[in-house]
Each structure stands twice: as structure tokens, then as C-alpha cells.
Structure 1
Amino acid sequence: MTDSKSIFTTFPKPEELLKWYQDQPKTETPDINGHIHTPHSFSAFSEVEQPFVLAKSEGVSVLGINDFYTTDGYNEFAEMAEKHKVFPLFNIEFMALQKDLQEAGIRVNDPSNPGRTYFSGKGLRQPAQMSEASANKIKDLQEESNRQTYQMVEKLNAFFTEKEIDIQFDAEELQSRLAKNLFRERHISQAIRIAVFEKEETDLGRAKLFNVIFQGKPVKSAIDDLAGLENEIRGNLLKSGGAAFVPEDPKAFLSLEEVQEIIIDAGGIPCYPVLLDFGDENYTDYEGDSEKLLAELKSKNVFSIELIPARNKFNILKDFVKFFNNKGFVITFGSEHNTPKLDPIKLSVGGGFELDDELKQINYEGTAVIAAHQYLVSNGQEGYLLNGIAKTDEKATFIELGKAVIAKFLEK
């Protein structure tokens, strides 16, 4: 909750905005990245401004913040958007649990954990505003997540003591130094990598210490590949079977229905993040059949999806996106940047292929719907949802208004 004002409250009224937009010269379809994480959860970026600087250098016109369990970065994200003239989308991400699918062994969009469901909200209010009940649920999720991470630090310290490795951590200090409110296992991986680098000055010394920490397993990454090293640390120590692994408590997850309620309460549009093919054209049980997935999402009143194109083969992505676009879904793309690796902001498909014109246009139209929704809700009007249901029959109207909103914000 904040006294800050929405960046959309000074915009003209819809009819004025549309009239202004009709008189503007038509421009090329913009490059858009609608899903990035910031240091408010875990990110490849060291500060919130960094992706905006990179976006300007790469010609990306729209960025969407999409942190786990938090809206804390919204106002700074808005400030950076205005400073750099990059249009902002205000999103959020959750890990929900569908217990019936967990019991049935059905993988949703996490290939390793049946029932676990990543789920996003698009176009929330900025400044963040929601009911006390929703805010408390998010606070409880953060506290439960941090409790698990603090326990990991305890187990890690015990492991280091047992193996006579002269490294110890204070969880509170790590959180203060490396994280914001949300302290995640990737922060622990980062802390271990930093500690090893401080303890050993040579590549050989560092490799040997990692070898001890990994209990005899050799390091696969180059010593100067910081992202690769941190991923190896996470896999060897903090994941299932690792010395510092702590299983998640079921209360660390809300049901999918609860997550959707929070998103709608916070002014957002429920959105299902699609994993699609994740190597050798594999799919989860939930996503293997597009018709079945369509029916599942519609039954849950979900009419928006997002994808991370770099994960997917071009032809698979294209066919899937066209199918859902023809069904009236709002579709957006992003990069996540939820690992230590600093990839480009400009999106590409798996194998480094660029998005083609049709995919870029679909991404633009989905983004425009979210932009129009943000603008309307910020000005006290009804957005893309009516009683929680998407106005799919009005999608074209929202696209046109959203294009006008984006253009007005980017106006020099």
C-alpha cells in the first residue's frame, strides 16, 4: 500500500486517447519482453534499472515485471519506465498446488513436480492495491518461503562443519546483503559461490574447493562461468538429494483458485504460463494435447497465456501460439531472467532464432490488452474482466486502446 500515484492517472480519457492515436504515424511492431524478474525475487539483474538500460540499447519498448509473491518492485519499476521511456507491465507470479493433479501424478507446467502450477497475474494495479486478506496471504507465502530458505542455511552450515569446510553463513545477514524481502535458494547458491571465490584466489583452488563441496563430483562449468557455477551449486546442494535440501511444506502453496482470487482482487488478469516442449519435444501431461489444455483453461476461466520462447522449438511454438490466438486468448512472451545468466532482453526462440512478424504481432496485441486493462483499472474503470471473466468478445477494442496507451507513454 502506498501514497504514490499511478503513472496512468494523467492520461487522456479513452475517446481522446483513441482519437489522438488515429492521427499518429503508424510504426513497426515493437519488441516486447513481458516477463522479467527483478532483485525483489531473484534475477540476473543487480538492480531494477538495469533491464531498462539494456532494453533501450536493444530496442525493446515494453518490459513486464513478474516477481514471485511480491509487488514490492512496482513503484521503482514505474519510475524507471518513465525515466527510460519503456512501457511497463505490472505482473506477479505464484507457485500454486493443484492437489488432485498431484495425487494423480499429473505434471502441469513443472516437469519434476506433479500438481505444482506456476501461475501469473497480468496488469495488476500500480501502485499495488488489494484487500487485507489477499495481502496477508502473500505475506504468509513470503514468510513460509523464507522459513524454508533459512532452514537450508542451517543444514548447509552443519554440512560444512561435518566436512571441515571453513565456510559458515548467517541467514539474516545473507538476506540483508543479497536479497530484498524474499530470500530464495538462488541467493544461497550465489553466497556459496562468492564465499568460494573469496576463500580461494586461483581457478585451480576454486575448482578443488567446489570438488570437496560437491563431495567428489567434478565441476562441469568453467570457473569464470558464474551463472553455471551457481546452477551447479543449487543442483548439488539445495535440490532433492542435496545436503542442504529442505522439502517444501504444503502450506507454502495456495490452491490455484486462491491464487486467481488474489490476482483478480489486485486488479490483474489470471494468466497460465505454458512450458510447452522442454527438450526432445517432450511435454508435461497437462500440456501434451492443445485441445485438452484449452478445455482445462476455459473451465477455470483462464483466457490468457504466456510463453518463454527461448525454451521452445520455433515450429512447435508457432503452431501452439496460432492455435490459442485463434481461440481468442491473450498471449504474451517473456524471458524470465530468473537465473544468474544475463541473456539479452530482446526475445528469441530456442536455437537463437528471432520471433517472426506474426509472433511479434500476437505478442504486441496481447500486451496491448494488458496495457489497456492497466490504464482503465488505474482510472477507476472496468478493465478486461467482468466479474472475473475475460471479455474475449471485446478483445479487438482493448487491443486498439492498449496500442494507444503504449504509444502515448512512449511519446517523446
Structure 2
Amino acid sequence: NACRIAGIKPAFSIEAIAMDASSREEGKRFNDPNNAGRTYLVGKGVTRKLKNGSRAYNILEGMKKAIQERNRKMTELIEKYLKELGYNIPFSYKDVVYLTPHGNATERHVVQALCEKIENRYPNKEKRLEVYRKILRYELTPEEMDDVAELQTLVRAKLIKAEMPCYVEEDERAFTSIENLTYVYRNFGAIPTYPFLGNPITEGESDLEALIKRVKSYGLYAFDLFDFRTEYSRAKEIIEVAKSHGFPVFIGTEHNTKKMIPLVGELGKFDEFLGYFRKSAQFVIGHQILSKLCNYGYIKEDGKPRIDNLQEGFDFYAEIGKKEISEDEIDELSKRSFEDNKKYFGIGD
């Protein structure tokens, strides 16, 4: 509804973390600068739900369960830690889940729930500052405490990160293989996509030609850039390589903290990049349209692109995405067969 009001074509995506066992053994990092082998992956243009009980559904549920168990243990540790320090602040996993729409809690939800508990328990600012200083073993300033985003970042760093009092080791079950995660994304009807770290440039991302070859071997056929974390020169290198291989490049910003940063960064404002970013956005819209109306998404069930020539495929789906098709038209086309709609969009056998 928000996109409809703003006149923006919506696209839905998903992100999760996989583990590349061979890279972990080699000590080779990709888009996680602190953990060799751990790899963030994005599914662009989700077009359907997973079937309950399917292999893809079970993979995702297994990851979710491992993450939930860790967050639950973390919550229990925090409550115990607070009691040891003399603070009787009831804190349960229910407080954390309450903050989520569907129960998919993260570390950040744990921290947010704790901060809200402390604020409610200690409305006096001086007393609350004293509590935070003792809990965090850090001379928190009044300004840091008043900045919600900064406060939660500090609490996370000082309380639940590695070697901190309430740290819980991450469960390996939370990180499935790259093959499994790309399989899950395909079952969501999405395009498996590799998101660049941006800065620093890790050993796994330094050779872009080698990276293209590697991600294609895993069934990843697009790139994602994070604005604010990617410098102009690096973005230019990535886009040039992507162009030569028919890879779309998406651009976006990160909003998983309370920090109010702009939705649009500087990279997307450069004229030399804007055309490619726009075409890539049109591409994913085209993928969504043809998935819904023709069962003809960019990626086939076997993980290969629908059109062998990646540049031709990129061009084709982007052209579909450029079309101004009203919601009423889509509703009418939805009543027709896939075959009739393929003819409508000029898709041959």
C-alpha cells in the first residue's frame, strides 16, 4: 500500500547467511569481514511462499529454530546477569518476540527489548545511566544514552558480542550451505544474488572475474551493492564487470538499526550508474510480472537462467519491467492461462 501511494513499483527480497565450508577451512572471507566462509546471500524478487513441509521450508525452519534457541539462551543469560549485579528486572524471550511481527527475532530485538525494560524500570535518567554503566562496564555518557540507535549498538557490543558477559556461541545449524540457501531462494521464486560487503575489500571479493565465476557456479546471477558502504571507484569496477557478464546490479541502503539514515545514498545519484541501477530494478520487476502471469521467472527450477545468454535475458526482463501495466490489467491477465499470457508478452517456445 505504501508503494501504491508513492507510485513506486514494489519488489520483495530476502536475506540470510550461508556457510561455505571450503572457504572456512581456507580462512577465506567474502562478504563477512569477521568470519571466513560465512556468506550473506540475497533472494531478489520473491514471488511465492514456500510449501509447508517441503525441503526448502524445512531448511529455513531449521535455520530459524537454531537462531531462536540462541536468542532464548541469550535472554536467559541476560536476566541471570542482571540478578547477579543486583537488578531485579524480569526479562523473558516473550519480551523479545513481542517486538517482531512473525516471531523472527534477531540479536537487535534482544537488545531493544532489554533497553525498553530498563527504561520502564528506571524512569529517572540519572539512575538509568548508573544502571547502564554498571551493566555495560563502560562509562556511558548521557548523550549516548539519549541516542536510541547509539545506545542499542553499545549494549549489543558490550553485552552479547563475543567475549562479553552474555554471549552465546552461534549454532552452526543457523548457517546452511550456499547450495541449500540458493535452493530455498529459487523455491521462493526469487533470483539468488550476491551482495558485496563494500568496505573493506576482502580476499574473496578482490578478484571480480574470479568472483563472477564462483558465484555463477553456485547459481547466483546478480549483484547487490550497499550504498554508504561502497566507494565510487569500487562501484565503478563492479558495474563494469557486471555489464560484461550480463549481471544486474541492485543498489540499496541498510536499515536494521534505529539509526535514521536516508533511503537513498550517493551512489545512486551518479548519472553514469543511474541507468544501470534503473535497468536492474526494471529487470526484477519484469521477473516478478512474468513469474506471476506466465510462470516464466528469470531462474528455472534447475537453477539455470531462463535465457542462456545472460545479456539477452537481462535486456528482455528489463523491457518487461519498463512496461506500465496497471493493477487492473494484471488482475485481468491473472485470469488467463500462462500460455495465453506468454503470447501476450511475446514469449515463444
State the TM-score bracket (shorter-chain normalisation): 0.7 to 0.9
What is the TM-score with the length of structure 1 in the denominator?
0.73
Residue of 284, 287, 301 corresponding to 1:370: 284
Match of 2:67 among 145, 163, 187: 145
Using the TM superposition, give the Cα deviation of residue 84 of structure 1 relative to its aligned residue in structure 2, in angstroms. Answer: 4.3
Mapped pair 1:197 → 2:197: no
355 and 147 in structure 1: CA distance in 2 versus 1, 3 angstrom threshold: same
- Greater strand fraction, Structure 1 or Structure 2: 1
TM superposition shift of 1:160: 0.7
Counterpart for residue 267 of structure 1:
189
> Quick one: which amino acid aligns to residue 312 of structure 1?
T
Identify, as 1 or 2, the structure richer in helix: 2
**Deviations for 1:101-153, whole angstroms, at most 9, x for unmatched residues?**
11111111111111111101111214x24472212222222222111100000
Normalised TM-score (structure 2): 0.86
Q: CA deviation at 1:216?
A: 4.0
Partner of 1:357: 271
* Amino acid in the other structure paired with 1:170: S
Partner of 1:322: 240
Map of 2:334 onto structure 1: none
Q: Is the 8 A contact 2:185 2:192 kept in 1?
A: yes
Consecutive unaligned residues in structure 1, runs of 5 or more: 1-78
Of the candidates 303, 307, 327, which is equivalent to residue 388 of structure 1?
Answer: 303
Matched, 1:240 2:158: no
- Whole-Å separation in 2 of the counterparts to 1:191 and 1:121: 29
Taking the aligned partners of 2:232 and 2:328, their CA distance within structure 1 comes to 30
Higher relative contact order (CA 8 A, sep 6+): 1
8 Å Cα contact 2:95-2:113 kept in structure 1: no
1:104–1:331: structure 2 CA closer, same or farther, 3 Å change rule? Answer: same
1:402 aligns with 2:321: yes
Structure 2 counterpart of 1:109? 31
Structure 1 runs (4+) deviating above 6 angstroms are none
**Match in the other structure for 1:74:** none
Percent identical among aligned pairs is 26
Q: 1:341 pairs with 255, 259, 266, which one?
A: 259
Superposition deviation, residue 256 in structure 1 = 0.2
Larger Rg: 2
Task: Show CA shifts across 1:37-82 (max 9, x none).
Answer: xxxxxxxxxxxxxxxxxxxxxxxxxxxxxxxxxxxxxxxxxx4433
Does the 8 Å contact 1:221/1:228 carry over to 2? no
Amino acid at match of 1:383: G
Residue matched to 2:93: 171
Specify the alignment match of 2:339 in structure 1. none
Equivalent-residue separation in structure 1 for 2:264 and 2:252 (angstroms): 9
CA gap of 1:321–1:265, structure 2 versus 1, over 3 A, is same
- State which drifts further: 238-247 or 218-227: 218-227
Query: 210, 216, 221: which is aligned to 1:298?
Result: 216
3-state DSSP class of the match of 1:307?
strand
Letter in 2 for 1:398: Y
Q: Verify the 8 A CA contact 1:276 1:287 in the aligned structure 2.
A: no
Secondary structure in 2 matching 1:320: helix
Q: Gaps (5+ residues) in structure 2?
A: 330-349
Alignment length, in residue pairs? 323
In 1, distance between residues paired with 2:68 and 2:18?
17
Inter-partner Cα distance in structure 2 for 1:108 and 1:179: 31
